[in-house]
């Protein structure tokens, strides 16, 4: 069905997961795919670099069209396959405005999550500071408070941009799932906890759940004190 598509990806990567959810939502199963290992530095392999000079995952191609950036791939897929699978951009200026706004606030959300969870991965040993670690954690708490408030305002059972599942959810859910995987206490952020419960069993999400999370359902607990 989607045999002219190729996805190179890594398990547990938020950007990769976004593209996989979008593909499922648009009924684009059966694409060529290859699971690569960040630990083994396979994202810097020739196979990836040929498709993506940045040496990053996801790397994604549809025919000759290369759209490696996860936001680019999601927007591209929705616009190219508008009438196939689920419609991911709502009609109406207000709904679209909220969707775009949340989609792009998610850049900050994921950045703040990664700054805490992957601090050792990103920052060389001689440049690490407890003051930075503390500030990053505080920034993540503030960020979580914002999203908790957004969901509170939308009311129970809402998706990120209202009553229907949109690109905002495709983009944001992997970040939320990584929070819980990393030990966030659901009771501390009840609305985010509800949102997580609402989306985690959706078919597109289940079909693309990170395989190493399935093998080892217990995460590292880095966010226990957030």
Q: Which residues bind its own copies (CB under 8 A)?
A: 53-54, 62, 64-73, 75-76, 79-80, 93-94, 96-98, 100-101, 103-105, 107-108, 124, 126-127, 129, 131-132, 146, 149
Q: Which one, 169 or 180, has the nearer CB to its own copies?
A: 169
Tokens linked to 72: 């680019």
| Shortest reach from residue 141's CB to its own copies, in Å | 14
| Shortest reach from residue 34's CB to its own copies, in Å | 20
Q: Which one, 32 or 80, has the nearer CB to its own copies?
A: 80
| Shortest reach from residue 103's CB to its own copies, in Å | 7
Q: Which one, 20 or 103, has the nearer CB to its own copies?
A: 103
CA distance 4 to 209: 23
Q: Which one, 132 or 207, has the nearer CB to its own copies?
A: 132
| Shortest reach from residue 101's CB to its own copies, in Å | 5
Of 207, 208, 181, 186, the closest CA to residue 197 belongs to 186
| Shortest reach from residue 153's CB to its own copies, in Å | 11
Q: Which one, 132 or 185, has the nearer CB to its own copies?
A: 132
The DSSP line for the chain is --TTEEEEEETT-HHHHHHHHHHHHTT--S-EEEEE-TTTTGGGSHHHHHH-TT--S-EEEETTEE--SHHHHHHHHHHHTTTSS---S-SSHHHHHHHHHHHHHHHHHHHHHHHHHTHHHHS-GGG--HHHHHHHHHHHHHHHHHHHHHHHHH-TT-BTTBSS--HHHHHHHHHHHHHHHTT--GGGSHHHHHHHHHHTTSHHHHHT--HHHHHS-----TTTT-
Q: Which one, 168 or 179, has the nearer CB to its own copies?
A: 168
- Strand-strand pairing, 59-62 and 5-10: antiparallel
| Shortest reach from residue 135's CB to its own copies, in Å | 8
């Amino acid at each position: 069905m989607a045999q002219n598509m190729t996805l190179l990806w890594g398990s547990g990567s938020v950007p990769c997961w976004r593209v996989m959810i979008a593909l499922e939502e648009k009924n684009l199963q059966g694409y060529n795919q290859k699971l690569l290992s960040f630990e083994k530095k396979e994202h810097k392999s020739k196979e990836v670099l040929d498709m993506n000079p940045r040496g990053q995952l996801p790397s994604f191609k549809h025919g000759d069209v290369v759209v490696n950036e996860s936001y680019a791939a999601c927007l591209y897929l929705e616009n190219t396959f508008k009438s196939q699978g689920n419609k991911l951009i709502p009609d109406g200026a207000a709904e679209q405005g909220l969707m775009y706004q949340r989609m792009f606030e998610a850049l900050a959300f994921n950045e703040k999550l990664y700054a805490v969870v992957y601090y050792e991965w990103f920052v060389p040993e001689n440049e690490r500071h407890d003051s930075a670690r503390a500030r990053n954690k505080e920034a993540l708490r503030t960020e979580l408070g914002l999203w908790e408030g957004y969901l509170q305002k939308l009311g129970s059972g809402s998706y990120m941009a209202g009553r229907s599942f949109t690109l905002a959810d495709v983009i944001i859910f992997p970040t939320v799932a990584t929070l819980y995987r990393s030990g966030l206490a659901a009771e501390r952020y009840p609305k985010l906890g509800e949102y997580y419960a609402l989306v985690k069993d959706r078919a597109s999400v289940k079909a693309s759940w990170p395989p190493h999370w399935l093998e080892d359902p217990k995460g590292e607990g880095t966010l226990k004190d957030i």
